[in-house]
Structure 1
Amino acid sequence: MRSNKILNGLLNKLSFDKNSSEVFVQSFKSSIVKASGMAFGIIVSILLGRYLGPDGIGIINLSNRVVSILLLIALFGMQQVIVKEVSLGASKRDNKRIASNVVTTYFFNGILSIFLVTVMILLTPWLANTVFDNPELEIPLLIFLIIAPFQVFARLFSSGLIGFRKIWQASLVDQALSLILVSIGLGVIVFFNLEFTVINVAWCYGISRILVFLVTGIYWHSLFKEYKQVSNKLKSILNMGFPMFVASLTASLSNNIDILFLGFLSTTYEVGLYTVAAKIAFMTSFFLAVAHSAISPKVAILYDDENKAPLEKMIQTITLILVILGVLSLLIFVIFGHTLLGIWGTEFREAYLLLVILSIGQFVNIATGTVGSLFSMTGFEKNLLWINVIYLGFNICISYVLISMYGALGAAVAMAVSVALFNIFKVIMVKRLVGINLISIGFLKK
């Protein structure tokens, strides 16, 4: 409470409006957790770069990307369903509603994840040797796949925590804890002079994810233990989950298509270089993610109350701050890019041009502000879905062409161009549909 008062006082002195101040105060704890997760993610990435080189880090990241898409399919949009149903059940003290939805998702997602993992395990030799043309990918990918069902349940538990308003705790177990445990595991390997191989690194990831599953499960079941009179909610949760699944799948494919195509059309060495450049360039997305999570509820309330003037003022204030952060980040990456890349190892400095191109794309991304929240929180989710579907199609086409011709450089250009074009388009559509200007100057004000 004391920290909240201090933050409010500081923001008032900086002439922040009431709504903007509230957004920043509410996001404080979550920001700390996300920053910790990002910091440990960078530590892990540096260790992998130092000890495995571009090829090794490429194998690990390619395995992660393949499994992340499998997880999204296995979850089938149920994370959002759990958040909604647990929130409503908790507010009405309806334990039967919570239990019925939770247990139904346990069975549905558990069976679906085991089925998908079994199919992928059978396909792993073909994926490693034929699709990605790298036999060293096979065992790490198998390890990641075996652990995938544990990740599915950990994310369901985490969604339940959010439903009970344990926001920062959910962020900790969902975003930071695994990376903290992986960094500890890698530290143990280095400290005891054990063999730092791709397979041992994959086991570090696997063990950490099992531990996250156990911790999250224990915490969730300490909050909710009422599993009496459970009814089957499969039909209703599928109806709720499917649109969310489609939206999440298109977004995830858009975010991962560069790495997947690069692994398919190029080499894991280039995947490694590109991954590190993207890791640095996408640091600015931290600010945007915090703003999204903090601003969404406020946008929904103000828009529902038809308070467009304070809503627009809040959006413009936050967008201006994001633009300033974006400019500073871009300058840092352009000026100190070679030095930053050298932290991962001297061979990664050849990724400087990739870093600059990706940073430009991310600058446009952060400069266009929380445009996604304005779509989803004002009743224009279907418009956002169609924009994302078109974006995915465009991204697939341009990525395939440019990566085929220029490898990692083509991937960087494709990502930067796609992100920039479609975020600018979203800003224009928000003005037309919602009637909100994200910035207070320029052609958008006309």
Structure 2
Amino acid sequence: MTQKSVILRLLGRTQGDGLRAQLLRGGAGVGALRLVSLPLTLLTTVLLARLLGPQGFGQYSFVVAVITTLTIPLAPALLQLITRETAALYYAGEYGQIRQLSRWANRRVIIGSLIIIVVVTIGVVNTSDWSAGGRWILLLMILPAVPLLGLNAVRLGILTGLRKVISGQIPDLFVKPVALLVVVGAFATGGVLTPSTGVLSYVLSAAIAYIVGFVLLNRAVSAHWYEKKQLAQSQSRSLTKAWVPFTLLVAANTLNTQIGILVLGWLSTDKQVAAMQIAAQGGMVVALSLTIVNQVIGPYVTQIYHAGDKDRLLAISRSSVRFALLLATPLALLLITCGEFIIEIVFGIQYVSIGVLPLAILAIAQFVNVAFGSVGTFLTMSGYERDTLLGQVSGLVSSSVASLILVPMYGATGAAIAVALGTIVWNGVLAIQVSRRIGIRPGPI
């Protein structure tokens, strides 16, 4: 078969409205955005790491990790809930309720943001330790990002549920990293890049992404979907009840990735935080393919599960994990075997002694994560978020205990080992639950 015929065959598979064609189009679109977003994000990280130095970059990374943790109920938790509910409403043809769902979520974001901002401000003002490298001032500066992150998550959830995966990802995967890079670059060119201006850049990029996302959502939602009436109280209570396990689930998931940085910021130094952040960037590269897969298949898992088609669920599981492994394997091998060279060239020699081993550990952990496949997505999008929570909590407990033991002795290396342990534990538990609940065996074989 000639190269031209192979290309034409692949292009032909993306045509039409079939499941395979939709998945291929979505995967290709999101994959392309990820491939654009990743170098932009890494370039910004490199600029911050090189120009702020290990201490300043550690401060910046710690504050971003804190704000990511604080916004768990408003951003990633609402994102998953809104995606599932929007997909179900769209599948049922109840388009008008999608707008009501959006209003319900936006109100929760505004109220929750105000609570977080007030509580954090009171806590920072009353703290007696204002000399801890400027961390508390940076935390106050980044608070305006809280509502922006939450509102962006609602927008992404609705667009993803409507199967407009690509347009939903444009603000976060293209607009935000471009804006962050441009603003950070401007501060660097002016010679005023500090942890404070770095945090300001983060807030500004979130604001720009929100504006673009707002415009895209208004264009995507048809005018006849707008209903003025509010959700019934029973519907609101049902959503709130579902929101709680989603929040717990995402909290466990987010903390599984952030626990190393948070414990390092508490028990170790800013330099060790910086080393862990660099290692986490490497892990993100390895897990990129799985991230793409999860974003694309979520709405289809909900639809196919409700249709009771176990064979199609199994087909999606197998094909998605094989695709993810195909991309993840060479990246993991490169980071494990050439980590010292990569860190020195990209981030600078000052990070080599503290970052090589954590990078290799997290690359291995994320490769294992990819090999298990989209176990969390299958459970969550099938209505078994409580089972997903069980696995995530199991991993979080393991990584938290290990972090408290290993971080004081081994710094970033200990934190990386703890995160790797948690990753393996929660994937194992979720794989068992997928087999029990859905009746399919996850993995590539």
Name the TM-score class by shorter chain: 0.7 to 0.9
1:303 is displaced (CA, Å) by: 5.1
Alignment of 1:344 onto 2:347: yes
**2:358 and 2:416 in contact (8 A); partners too:** yes
Matches within 5 A, 1:5-154: 9-10=9-10, 23-75=23-75, 77-87=77-87, 97-124=97-124, 129=129, 134-154=132-152
Comparing 59-68 with 82-91, greater Cα deviation is found at: 82-91
SS at match of 2:287: helix
1:402 to 374, 393, 406: 406
1:194 is displaced (CA, Å) by: 2.9
**2:88 and 2:302 in contact (8 A); partners too:** no
Q: Tell me what 1:220 maps to.
A: 217
Runs of 5+ in structure 1 lacking a partner?
442-446
- Paired AA for residue 276 in structure 2: Y
Distance in structure 2 (CA, Å) of the matches to 1:390 and 1:320:
26
Distance in structure 2 (CA, Å) of the matches to 1:261 and 1:403:
7
Distance in structure 2 (CA, Å) of the matches to 1:111 and 1:37:
31
CA deviation profile, 1:321-380 (whole Å, cap 9, x unmatched): 434433322221122211211111111112111111111111211122222233334554
Distance in structure 2 (CA, Å) of the matches to 1:31 and 1:22:
14
**2:398 and 2:425 in contact (8 A); partners too:** no
Runs of 5+ in structure 2 lacking a partner?
none
- Paired AA for residue 426 in structure 2: F
Tell me: CA distance 1:21–1:229, structure 2 relative to 1, closer, same or farther (3 Å): closer
1:238 is displaced (CA, Å) by: 1.1
**2:391 and 2:425 in contact (8 A); partners too:** no
Comparing 275-284 with 302-311, greater Cα deviation is found at: 302-311
1:238 to 228, 240, 248: 240
Tell me: CA distance 1:349–1:21, structure 2 relative to 1, closer, same or farther (3 Å): farther
Tell me: CA distance 1:306–1:250, structure 2 relative to 1, closer, same or farther (3 Å): same
**1:151 and 1:209 in contact (8 A); partners too:** yes
Tell me: CA distance 1:247–1:325, structure 2 relative to 1, closer, same or farther (3 Å): same
Comparing 376-385 with 56-65, greater Cα deviation is found at: 376-385
Distance in structure 2 (CA, Å) of the matches to 1:34 and 1:354:
24
Alignment of 1:430 onto 2:428: no
Comparing 136-145 with 259-268, greater Cα deviation is found at: 136-145
CA deviation profile, 1:211-235 (whole Å, cap 9, x unmatched): 2222222333445564633456543
1:272 is displaced (CA, Å) by: 0.5
1:168 is displaced (CA, Å) by: 1.1
**1:11 and 1:21 in contact (8 A); partners too:** no
Distance in structure 2 (CA, Å) of the matches to 1:11 and 1:222:
28
2:279 to 262, 277, 280: 277
CA-based RMSD: 3.1
Distance in structure 1 (CA, Å) of the matches to 2:438 and 2:89:
31
Alignment of 1:171 onto 2:173: no
Matches within 5 A, 1:308-387: 308-309=310-311, 311-342=313-344, 343-350=346-353, 351-387=355-391
Alignment of 1:257 onto 2:255: no
- Paired AA for residue 241 in structure 1: W
Distance in structure 1 (CA, Å) of the matches to 2:357 and 2:147:
38
SS at match of 1:134: coil
Q: How many residues align?
A: 430
**1:358 and 1:412 in contact (8 A); partners too:** yes
1:205 to 202, 206, 221: 202
CA deviation profile, 1:35-69 (whole Å, cap 9, x unmatched): 22222110110000110111111111111111112
Tell me: CA distance 1:315–1:402, structure 2 relative to 1, closer, same or farther (3 Å): same
Distance in structure 1 (CA, Å) of the matches to 2:139 and 2:269:
16
Tell me: CA distance 1:430–1:221, structure 2 relative to 1, closer, same or farther (3 Å): closer
Tell me: CA distance 1:173–1:12, structure 2 relative to 1, closer, same or farther (3 Å): closer
- Paired AA for residue 54 in structure 1: P
**2:328 and 2:367 in contact (8 A); partners too:** yes
Q: TM-score, normalised by structure 1?
A: 0.85
Distance in structure 2 (CA, Å) of the matches to 1:239 and 1:182:
36
Tell me: CA distance 1:410–1:194, structure 2 relative to 1, closer, same or farther (3 Å): same
- Paired AA for residue 58 in structure 2: G
CA deviation profile, 1:179-206 (whole Å, cap 9, x unmatched): 2101011222233x33121111111112
1:414 is displaced (CA, Å) by: 0.8
Distance in structure 2 (CA, Å) of the matches to 1:429 and 1:93:
31
Q: TM-score, normalised by structure 2?
A: 0.85
**2:399 and 2:422 in contact (8 A); partners too:** yes
Distance in structure 2 (CA, Å) of the matches to 1:98 and 1:425:
34
